[in-house]
A and B are shown apart, each in its own frame.
Chain A
Amino acid sequence: MASLRDIQSKINSTKKTKQITKAMQMVSASKLTRAEQNAKAFVPYSEKMQEVVSQIAASGDATHPMLQTRAVKKTGYLVITADRGLAGGYNNNVIREVYRTIQHQHASTDEYTVIAAGRFGRDFFKKNNLPIAKEIIGLPDQPDFADIKQIASEAVEMFLEEEIDELVLFYNHFNSAISQEVTSQKLLPLTDITPESGRSVQSMYEFEPDAEGILKVLLPQYAESLIYGALLDAKASEHAARMTAMRAATDNANERIDGLTLTFNRARQAAITQEISEIVGGAAALQS
């Protein structure tokens, strides 16, 4: 059996670990609140954007390359992961899903390219020699639109210049604080723009200069905003995942401390009992 001092030091180190995991849990909890607020602040913009875009697209006569499906020669995967670990399965789930999709869909590396947002994703793809077209790391915990603007518009540009023929987003969708799921979303071409029924005829717009000219400006902005929305969603998931992972770690530490304390007490009692029996034994030896 381990000595008393060994057990004591194990208890102490577990307690210290627990302090850290607990602190990280609380930090993530507050970041999650902020991330949820950010996501909420984004809703008016995205809703309005969706409304206007769908109305223009529904008016019918305007076309734009971003609305048209073309033969897919090359697929772009935009993968959003975190820069740091300690978030349970957060990063691995996304990466595994992307990797599986790629293995399943493509025979050669000419058929796809990866746009990596987040260090974990980038490192994985680099290590496995998958083609990375663009990368961005060091995104802040509470990203502004300006932080993602460049890579978003570059991704959209790649589509417009026919470097890629479709763009698929992979990220963790935030269901709730305890549940996030990997989501893949086909971003480009924009095929699922349909106005919600009931309010489509409400307003017919005048276009200045014309519908086509507006789509040209609007659609890239719309796609960029969708990417930003996905990023906000992914960030909320990241903080939630980290919070859950750290709570589990804290719980485990507690359990371990309890177990160790029990062992410690047993060992202490055994030592005392042994001491007593030695004394008693010694006294008995003297008397006889």
Chain B
Amino acid sequence: MSTVTTSIVTPDGPVLEADYEMVSCTAENGELGILPGHIPLVAPLKVSSVRLQIQGRTDYVAVSGGFLEVRPDRITILAQTAESAADIDVDRAEQAKNRAEKRLQDKQANLDQIRAEQALNRAINRLDVASHSR
């Protein structure tokens, strides 16, 4: 089966670069599955997991604040943070989740509320992705 070179890049450096048969991710308005030879496309991604498939194996990467750039021979995901399943510190994600939940319950100013929600989203996403590595 043909493959497409996929790289995930963050400001702190590249996270992953390898060939995959299919890349699925959650864009702002729905799920996207990209196969090799896709037409050029740009789409912003939700805080979500990116699933990369090769030879029956699936790799999971948690991304936040990112977007997807597709060319026929190349997929690039630019994200503000990206962690592959094995790299996620479950304890830290768990703590971040609890913290965010607590802040949400406090019901303070509006802006903090939104931030806490975003933080909670990210933490849940990371926990979700991490669960696939076990």
Contact = CB atoms under 8 A, between A and B. Distances in A.
Contacts of A38: 12
Interface in A50-102: 52, 56
20 contacts: A41-B12, A42-B11, A44-B13, A45-B9, A145-B10, A145-B12, A145-B80, A145-B81, A205-B42, A205-B69, A206-B41, A207-B42, A208-B29, A209-B29, A209-B43, A213-B28, A217-B44, A217-B67, A218-B44, A221-B67
Interface string B1-21: 000000001111110000000
A256 interface: no
B134 to A, nearest CB: 25
A171 interface: no
Interface of B: 9-14, 27-29, 32, 39-44, 65, 67, 69, 71, 76, 78, 80-81
A231 B133 CA distance: 34
A203 interface: yes
Contacts, number: 76
**Main SS class of interface, A:** helix
Interface in A141-158: 144-146, 149
Contacts of A56: 42
B11 A145 contact: yes
Contacts of A237: none
Contacts of B41: 205-208
Interface string A218-246: 10010011001000000000000000000
A206 B28 contact: no
5 closest A-B pairs (Cβ-Cβ)? A41-B13, A208-B43, A217-B44, A145-B11, A203-B40
Given A144-B12, A208-B32, 13 more contacts: A41-B14, A44-B9, A45-B13, A46-B11, A49-B78, A52-B67, A52-B69, A145-B11, A208-B42, A214-B44, A217-B28, A221-B65, A221-B67
